[in-house]
Structure 1
Amino acid sequence: MEFEELKNLLLENRNYKDEELEIIKRAFDFAKIKFKGIYRKNGEPYFNHCIRTALNLAKLKMDYETICAGLLHDILEDARVEKEEILKEFGKNIAFLVDAVTKIGEIKYREKNLVQAENLRKLILYVAEDLRVAILKLADRLDNMRTLEYLPEEKRKRIALETHDVYAPLALRLGIFEWASELDDLSFKFLYPEKYKEIEEEIKNRLKGIEEIIPEIINKIEQEIIKRKINLYTIQYRIKKPASVYRKSQKKNFDFDQIYDLIAFRIIVSTIDECYLVLGILHSLFKPLLEEFDDYITYPKPNGYQSLHTTLLIKENKYAEFQIKTLEMHIKNEEGVAAYFAYAQFKDTKGYRKGIGLEGLTEDDIRFIKELTKWKNIENKDPEEFLKELKTDILQEKIYVFTPKGDVIELPKGSTVLDFAYKIHSEIGHHFAGAKVNKKIVPIDYEPKTGDIIEIITNKNKHPSPDWLKIVKTYNARKHIRSYLKKFRLSDIRQTYELKIIAKDRIGLLKDISNIISAYGINIIEVRSQTKGNLAILKFKLVVDDKDEYERLKAAIKRRISDVIKIE
């Protein structure tokens, strides 16, 4: 592809200024030269991947700096270009984006391994600094997943697992639903190829006799809309992806007859009033399934999603979902945080950083940015603990519940009412005596669902116990409970352990081990050391909350300090 073709595609999505297009052209020419003679596993020029990544970003109407970073994103690692050269040629903002995406991918992912945590640590640190890093990384990953079949099976599964665990949830959390759906589906395809093919075949069988009448359905609806002089932008349709069908079928006890949205139509109009007019038209043309109707315009989802959803009988025993929304809703629904970046007008790109100018974001977007900012302070956190907490608190699917006063509280799915209590305030959590959900008493480990109204009962004589750590799911609750237990040094939970480490002696060994112990929040009472030849024998006396924590600490030291020979 030549630049003029790329330029035309870019301008289809956003009106870039002439000076911005000139910088994009320089990035295009620079990358084209640097990637010359470098090829991917499938034999295509590497530069093609960079162009497709930039086009993915263009479809989200991203700013020129992010487009440039898309063209340059693999250049440090795969074309052996130095960061200083990017800095000199394109400035600090583009250099930062390119460097950030490169460093995120330096360590390869393995399930339940230190490297996964280290990669995610980098990802969160950079994303907290500039959200465009996340969007750039997702655009890169999307193209990689689309061409994953050319890699060896083991590498395919490794990348697919990382995509499933991290990047699909991240896209969903950022509100980029189209990317989230495709990343989720592609990861499912490569992780469970046989199941994927089985569901794909089931979808084809169930859509027999429907796809051929789609043009007729669209034409019928269009005629009625035009007749009413409604400003129609488009009518689109999509087939539900196998991964999504599989997840929904699990909720329906694998009864495919209960899945009514294998095919979904999207109708985009100008105004909210027109949305309801179109709803009336649809219900006059097709018989609605009333129990499947949702009004997300009047009652938006907590993440800001808005649309009318109705399920209609379009053929004998064949249903389809219809989504009706305005263009503004559609853009926000599909592009999420990226839509804000696309339309925000700033004097310089600092507006993208550190949460400046958040007027265009939903409350959910702002909460997410604040959560990322909180996770910037993670340099000394143990990787395994960090990984577990990140997946629970940041990437986990959310639920939205209410206080008795009607305030909306966001929690990771699977949280308990005790987590809810600590989310309200640490003192509410510390004096938890019971909970009511929808006016009914529930146990302490009850897991609420979206829409539940939760009332916490407190008693000043109630206090945290060590067992509470086994009940709560969120980092916030665990942090407050541990802090309380340590503060009052409860004898039944704090134990003294003797940790003996034999390792190859070197400068900084004691410091490195002590840093790991500190990262776990464990107190060191006493340290003794001696050397025998080239070996160091270190003995620590530690105060630990429980044996499990002690065992995790030993495993972390052995894993992270290569000089360690034996731990007793």
Structure 2
Amino acid sequence: MMRQYELVERVQKYKPDVNEALLNKAYVYAMQKHGLQKRASGDPYFSHPLEVAAILTDLHLDEATIAVALLHDTIEDTTATRDEIDELFGEEIGSLVEGLTKIKKIDLVSKKAKQAENLRKLLLAISDDLRVLLVKLADRLHNMRTLGVMRDDKRKRISEETMDIYAPLAGRMGMQEMREELEELAFRNINPEAWETVTKRLAELSVRNEGIIDKIESELGELLENGGLHGAVVKGRQKKAYSVFRKMQSKSLSFEQLSDVFGFRIIVPEVQDCYKALGMVHTRWRLVPGRFKDYISTPKQNGYRSLHTTIVGPARQRIELQIRTDWMNDVAELGIAAHSLYKDGQTAGDQPAREINAYSWLRQTIESLSEGDNAEEFLEHTKLELFQDQVFCFSPKGKLIALPRGATPIDFAYAVHTDIGDTCVGAKINGRIMPLVTRLNNGDEVEIIRSGVQVPPAAWEEIVVTGKARSAIRRATRMAIRKQYSGLGQRILERTFERAGKTFSRDLLKASLFRLGHKEVEDAIAAVGRGELSSIDVLHAVFPDYQDERVTVRQAADEGWVAMDSASGMIFKVPGQGDGASIPGSTMFRGLAPDLQVSFSPAGAVPGDRIVGILGDGKSLTIYPIQSPGLQEFDDENHRWIDVRWDLDETNKARFKARIEISALNEPGTLATVAQTIATTDVNISTLTMTRVATDFTEMTIDLEVWDLRQLNLLISRLKELECVATAKRLFR
């Protein structure tokens, strides 16, 4: 285990003015707090944070980050508290340590949900200071290096999480060396047979081609030297097992078909030297078509810059080449850790403008996080984007937009701005109007056609590939639904308050939101419209002293029952068996109007539906489910809306009318099968209409009598399972 002075010496090698007192204090504090704790391997637990700190010294990070590495498990696994760390080490280090502390003491429904919540917390902490990510990745790397003592199932679970999240996240931050090691370690545990096979084949290939890397390095170096590029360095290597395995899977190739197992890197002093070296190589050896990429003029989103090409080089061997400067090579290998701001104690807020673009993906991900997706959806979208290769497209004004491969113009629109995505109705790709489902390619110029009345369809969620677009579409859909229900809720509340002799006001409601469990006025009003919140409950929340007495007197079943609703000022009566009602299941209201007749809309309503009443000519009230399109006729007649609810007499149950539509095969026995299914579900057929809509299909409209919504939904589900039924749905008209 590394000694205290050894850690200080490692930091002093690249930072002579190191704050030794800080490192010594963190070393001693962490060692004391972890005390006699042991790892699964039996080693002292303190060896883990010490090794994490050592990994970060290899990245030449500042002493504050090294101190955080030493302390990163103290809040989670010892008696240490955030306040104590703040007092001893300062709020900056305390904040970083807390950002690395996993969520505890929270009731989560699944390991996936816990994983999602931890990722959310990590990314939010990273948004404050990216050093949190550096420590977390070093923490995961050391855990993967020492995973061998774990149970097989635990090793596989941790490795899958590493492959799903942490290795791609390291790649997105440009830390390729760390990504490759994480992938290699995870691959070994997830698919040990494949790892062993590929590793064995690579070893055989290395023996068979012994000396070929040295030969190619020599020829390339000689070519560059003779061309006047003095000081150019050529490095060759054989690809790692997981990189080879991934290419075999993605391109459906056997090991023998792989022709570019070797990769070479040419490192030159200046940017212009990169293009000069490229010209020399392409003049000497033949380029493999379609394999040249210029990431210097068009850097990747994580700041990666390099020229990529594949040539048929010496010995007719296919060779992958990367050409870059020393600085580009540091960024390619170390990513965000290569930037000076992590070596001199600056924070992410001090980052120069030229470096900001390297982290745009991270900021967009955190932006989608703050827009309200639940944790598991966020995890799904984050994984999706972590694994995507990129395409680079341009706006008509020349703005470069980086998107995942497979992205559509809709993704492009949302990447530019959420408002542009929400109002998108079409797109021009390279000057031609193209469908919105078109997949974009590198270099495409995309112009978005907009409309101010557009609302993004919910179906777009299945078309787009970016988490930002999916989040925005889902949010816009929620807002559209909320707006629809908000209008209904507003009318219901105005009517209820009016009947109670009060005046409804959004300002009054805003002051009472805490009693209703909602954060925004619109949410509470929409909840009333959906039937999730009673208008009477809202009235009581706004006016706590208001007395609302509803007295129900139940009598014998043959006499019915009566009730008085003080909010509406009506006394009403539900007829029993001896009460001669002209409409089955109707309700007779008696109160302000004599014998107020209640009936249902043509398609009916059933217990379980959210219902509203529409006053007629003063003697009638018609009950509608809120989904009924017939309610649109009364949008401008607020005075006719009555807030009603189901209040059933369990001793005198009745069936209620509902209407369904079935599209079924036109063949003998279909009607009998449908009727039998309806009968076995204890549902009665009132009327049935059949219409031939095609040679092979018949459309049936059936009026049913059911007990409640649960029974109706069960019937529709059973009908959909029939082989002779194509579709089955409820009608509200």
Equivalent of 2:353 in 344, 347, 359: 359
1:243-276 per-position Cα deviation (integer Å, ceiling 9, x unaligned): 2223323342325466444221223232224334
Partners of 1:527 and 1:540 within 8 A in 2: no
Partners of 2:224 and 2:232 within 8 A in 1: no
C-alpha displacement at 1:137, in angstroms?
0.5
User: Could you tell me which amino acid in structure 1 is paired with residue 3 of structure 2?
Assistant: E
Is 1:524 aligned to 2:527, yes or no?
Answer: yes
Structure 1 residues 464 and 221 mapped into 2: Cα distance closer, same or farther (>3 Å)?
A: closer
C-alpha distance in 2, partners of 1:446/1:392? Answer: 19
The residue that corresponds to 1:557 in the other structure is none
C-alpha displacement at 1:3, in angstroms?
3.1
C-alpha distance in 1, partners of 2:62/2:527? Answer: 50
User: Could you tell me which amino acid in structure 2 is paired with residue 416 of structure 1?
Assistant: T
The residue that corresponds to 1:185 in the other structure is 184
The residue that corresponds to 1:17 in the other structure is 17
The residue that corresponds to 2:41 in the other structure is 42
The residue that corresponds to 1:5 in the other structure is 6
Structure 1 residues 191 and 268 mapped into 2: Cα distance closer, same or farther (>3 Å)?
A: same
1:305-339 per-position Cα deviation (integer Å, ceiling 9, x unaligned): 22233334455353332322111111122222222
Q: Which moved more, 1:390-399 or 1:154-163?
A: 390-399
Residue 311 of structure 1 aligns to a residue in which SS? Answer: strand
C-alpha distance in 2, partners of 1:461/1:134? Answer: 42
The residue that corresponds to 1:475 in the other structure is 470
Partners of 1:269 and 1:327 within 8 A in 2: yes
The residue that corresponds to 1:327 in the other structure is 326
Partners of 2:213 and 2:237 within 8 A in 1: no
| Bigger radius of gyration | 2
The residue that corresponds to 1:169 in the other structure is 168
Residue 232 of structure 1 aligns to a residue in which SS? Answer: coil
C-alpha distance in 2, partners of 1:377/1:329? Answer: 33
Q: How many residues align?
A: 509
The residue that corresponds to 1:146 in the other structure is 145
C-alpha displacement at 1:135, in angstroms?
1.3
Residue 353 of structure 2 aligns to a residue in which SS? Answer: coil
User: Could you tell me which amino acid in structure 2 is paired with residue 358 of structure 1?
Assistant: P
The residue that corresponds to 2:574 in the other structure is none
C-alpha displacement at 1:431, in angstroms?
4.9
The residue that corresponds to 1:404 in the other structure is 396
The residue that corresponds to 1:244 in the other structure is 243
C-alpha displacement at 1:33, in angstroms?
4.0
C-alpha distance in 1, partners of 2:165/2:200? Answer: 28
Residue 186 of structure 2 aligns to a residue in which SS? Answer: helix
C-alpha displacement at 1:136, in angstroms?
0.9
C-alpha distance in 2, partners of 1:262/1:298? Answer: 27
Is 1:130 aligned to 2:129, yes or no?
Answer: yes
1:179-212 per-position Cα deviation (integer Å, ceiling 9, x unaligned): 2222233223322222222333343344443343
Q: Which moved more, 1:118-127 or 1:215-224?
A: 215-224
Partners of 2:365 and 2:382 within 8 A in 1: no
1:515-560 per-position Cα deviation (integer Å, ceiling 9, x unaligned): 799999994224479xxxxxxxxx996999xxxxxxxxxxxxxxxx
1:538-549, aligned counterparts within 5 Å?
none
Q: Which moved more, 1:332-341 or 1:438-447?
A: 438-447
Q: Which has the higher helix share?
A: 1
The residue that corresponds to 1:502 in the other structure is none
Task: Choose between structure 1 and 2 for higher RCO, CA contacts under 8 A separated by at least 6 residues.
Answer: 1
C-alpha distance in 1, partners of 2:105/2:308? Answer: 43
C-alpha displacement at 1:408, in angstroms?
1.6
C-alpha distance in 2, partners of 1:110/1:196? Answer: 34
Structure 1 residues 386 and 487 mapped into 2: Cα distance closer, same or farther (>3 Å)?
A: same
C-alpha displacement at 1:283, in angstroms?
5.6
The residue that corresponds to 1:455 in the other structure is 447
Q: CA RMSD in A?
A: 4.1
Partners of 2:302 and 2:335 within 8 A in 1: no
User: Could you tell me which amino acid in structure 1 is paired with residue 396 of structure 2?
Assistant: P
1:91-490, aligned counterparts within 5 Å?
91-103=90-102, 113-222=112-221, 230=229, 232=231, 234-256=233-255, 259-279=258-278, 282=281, 289=288, 291-313=290-312, 316-342=315-341, 349=345, 351-353=346-348, 355-365=349-359, 367-368=360-361, 370-371=363-364, 374=367, 377=370, 381-392=373-384, 398-425=390-417, 428-439=420-431, 441-458=433-450, 463-473=455-465, 474-479=469-474, 481-482=476-477, 485-486=480-481, 489=484
Residue 329 of structure 2 aligns to a residue in which SS? Answer: helix
Contiguous gaps of at least 5 residues in structure 1: 495-509, 530-538, 545-568
Q: TM-score, normalised by structure 2?
A: 0.60
C-alpha distance in 1, partners of 2:6/2:313? Answer: 41
Structure 1 residues 381 and 217 mapped into 2: Cα distance closer, same or farther (>3 Å)?
A: closer
Partners of 2:173 and 2:302 within 8 A in 1: no
C-alpha displacement at 1:301, in angstroms?
3.6
The residue that corresponds to 1:554 in the other structure is none
User: Could you tell me which amino acid in structure 2 is paired with residue 408 of structure 1?
Assistant: L
C-alpha displacement at 1:103, in angstroms?
2.8
C-alpha distance in 1, partners of 2:300/2:192? Answer: 33
The residue that corresponds to 2:720 in the other structure is none
C-alpha displacement at 1:60, in angstroms?
2.3
Structure 1 residues 447 and 308 mapped into 2: Cα distance closer, same or farther (>3 Å)?
A: closer
C-alpha displacement at 1:478, in angstroms?
0.9
C-alpha distance in 2, partners of 1:415/1:519? Answer: 34
User: Could you tell me which amino acid in structure 2 is paired with residue 524 of structure 1?
Assistant: A
Residue 292 of structure 1 aligns to a residue in which SS? Answer: coil
Partners of 1:245 and 1:262 within 8 A in 2: yes
Q: Which moved more, 1:276-285 or 1:41-50?
A: 276-285
C-alpha distance in 2, partners of 1:413/1:70? Answer: 36
C-alpha distance in 2, partners of 1:83/1:302? Answer: 35
C-alpha distance in 2, partners of 1:427/1:287? Answer: 48
C-alpha displacement at 1:172, in angstroms?
1.9
C-alpha distance in 1, partners of 2:165/2:106? Answer: 15
C-alpha distance in 2, partners of 1:476/1:217? Answer: 49
Partners of 1:371 and 1:394 within 8 A in 2: no
Structure 1 residues 138 and 426 mapped into 2: Cα distance closer, same or farther (>3 Å)?
A: closer
Partners of 1:466 and 1:485 within 8 A in 2: no
1:49-83 per-position Cα deviation (integer Å, ceiling 9, x unaligned): 22221122122222111111112222333344333
Contiguous gaps of at least 5 residues in structure 2: 490-512, 538-607, 612-625, 628-733
Residue 305 of structure 1 aligns to a residue in which SS? Answer: coil
C-alpha distance in 1, partners of 2:123/2:523? Answer: 20
Partners of 2:392 and 2:400 within 8 A in 1: yes
Structure 1 residues 481 and 416 mapped into 2: Cα distance closer, same or farther (>3 Å)?
A: farther
User: Could you tell me which amino acid in structure 2 is paired with residue 406 of structure 1?
Assistant: G
Q: Which moved more, 1:59-68 or 1:212-221?
A: 212-221
Residue 336 of structure 1 aligns to a residue in which SS? Answer: helix
Partners of 1:418 and 1:472 within 8 A in 2: yes
Partners of 1:302 and 1:400 within 8 A in 2: no
Structure 1 residues 104 and 163 mapped into 2: Cα distance closer, same or farther (>3 Å)?
A: farther
The residue that corresponds to 2:649 in the other structure is none
C-alpha displacement at 1:294, in angstroms?
3.4
User: Could you tell me which amino acid in structure 2 is paired with residue 386 of structure 1?
Assistant: F
Residue 350 of structure 2 aligns to a residue in which SS? Answer: coil
C-alpha distance in 1, partners of 2:156/2:189? Answer: 6
